[in-house]
Structure formats: C-alpha cells, structure tokens
Amino acid sequence: MAVDHEKIEQAARMMLEAIGEDPDREGLIDTPSRIARMYDEVFQGMDQDPKEYFATVFGEDHEELVLVKDIPFYSMCEHHLVPFHGVAHIGYIPKGGRVTGLSKLARAVEAVTSRPQLQERVTATVADSLKETLDPHGVIVVVEAEHMCMTMRGIKKPGSKTVTSAVRGIFQNDAASRSEVFSLIRGGNS
C-alpha cells in the first residue's frame, strides 16, 4: 500500500501549527510534502514480506555456518516515531542445500526495519522468516542499536546500546556452537 501523502501532509501541517509554528512560512512551506516523501522511504517495508527474499535458493551443499555481520539499519521506534539504528548480524547453518543469497539477508533486515518497530520484534521476525522458509539447522540473529528516544529525549542516555538476540534450531541446545557464533560476531567489533 502506498503511503497516503495527503493525510501525512495534513497531519504534519497540524503538528507544526500545534507547536506554534507558521506552516506557511518560507522554510516550512514544503515540509509536509517532504515528510510525506520521506515516509515513502522510511516505511517502505509496510507491504514487504521478508520471507519473499528467501524464495531464491542455491543448491549448495554447505551445512556449516554462514554469518553476515554488521548489516547497518535505521528503523523507527513505534512508541515515539523517532529513529533507532545500529547493526544486525545474521548467522545460519543451511540444510538440504537451501543456501540463500547473502544480499537477501540484508534485504530481509531492510524490509523488517522499514516500518514502525520494536527492536525485539525486528530480531525475532528476521530469525523466524529464515527458519520458516529455508528450514536451516539453526539461526542466530543479533541486533545492536541505539534508540534516539533514549538519547535525545526522556532518560537522555546517549551511547547506551541495546542488544537483542533470537536463537532458533540447534543453537538453542548447542551452547558451544552458539558461543562460537557470538564470539565471531564480537570479534569484528573490537
């Protein structure tokens, strides 16, 4: 579904008026339409299903870890509609030759983060999408992010980071494999 520009423009105009601004002054006159166009981009994941990206698989016989680290993302916190941003790390062990394209992992992150979100839901949705489509032996998704609603307002704790993980399949019971992935993720960040 396309973003309703007219509605966003009306709302943005009303919000500017509500804070005591003049939405018709030169600097603000195009702001409502800019916000509408920005929301096209920022919320383009509203009608995207991350599972669709995993439809293409290569019959590659690799039943060992695949890890794509440090996938940058920006999302909008659903409580305040301000950004939270950081990186996602996705590791999985393919099964039955179902290996997906590396870029598809980043595309899934993009789809899931391009809508009003919670960090926990981003993490779980990416993990579940991969699990449900490729049925791999195991999946680990780790997301590290800074939330602007905790830095520029409210409790005001810049630099604080939230780390969430979602673990599926063999990683749930195999502590050694799980900690190997976590240390590979940590390794590149030092």
Ligand X SMILES: Nc1nc2c(ncn2[C@@H]2O[C@H](COP(=O)(O)OP(=O)(O)OP(=O)(O)O)[C@@H](O)[C@H]2O)c(=O)[nH]1
Catalytic positions: 77-80, 119, 147, 149
Closer of 114 and 119 to ligand X (Cβ): 119
Minimum CB distance to Zn ion, residue 169 (Å): 31
* 77/134 with CB nearer Zn ion: 77
Least separation in angstroms between residue 7's CB and ligand X is 24
Rounded distance between C-alpha atoms, residue 129 and residue 168, angstroms: 11
With CB under 5 to 8 Å by kind, the binding choice for 150 among Zn ion, ligand X, none is ligand X
Name the minimum Å distance from CB 158 to Zn ion. Answer: 14
Q: Interface with Zn ion includes 181 (CB under 5 A)?
A: no
Q: At what angle do helices 102-113 and 119-134 cross, to 10 degrees?
A: 140
SS3 at position 92:
strand
User: Up-side HSE of residue 67: CA atoms within 13 Å toward CB?
Assistant: 19
Q: Is 77 annotated as a binding residue?
A: yes
Task: Answer whether 75's CB lies under 8 Å from 113's CB.
Answer: yes
CB-based closest residue to ligand X: 154
Tell me the C-alpha distance between 144 and 68, whole Å. 14
Distance CA 120, CA 142 (A): 10
- Is 149 known to sit in a ligand binding site? yes
Q: What, of ligand X, Zn ion, none, does residue 127 touch, CB below 5 to 8 Å by kind? A: none
CB atoms within 10 A of CB 27: 8
Sites for Zn ion among residues 27-86 (CB under 5 A): 77, 79-80
**Applying CB under 5 A, does 118 fall inside the site for Zn ion?**
no
Under the rule (CB under 5 A), what is the footprint of Zn ion? 77, 79-80, 149
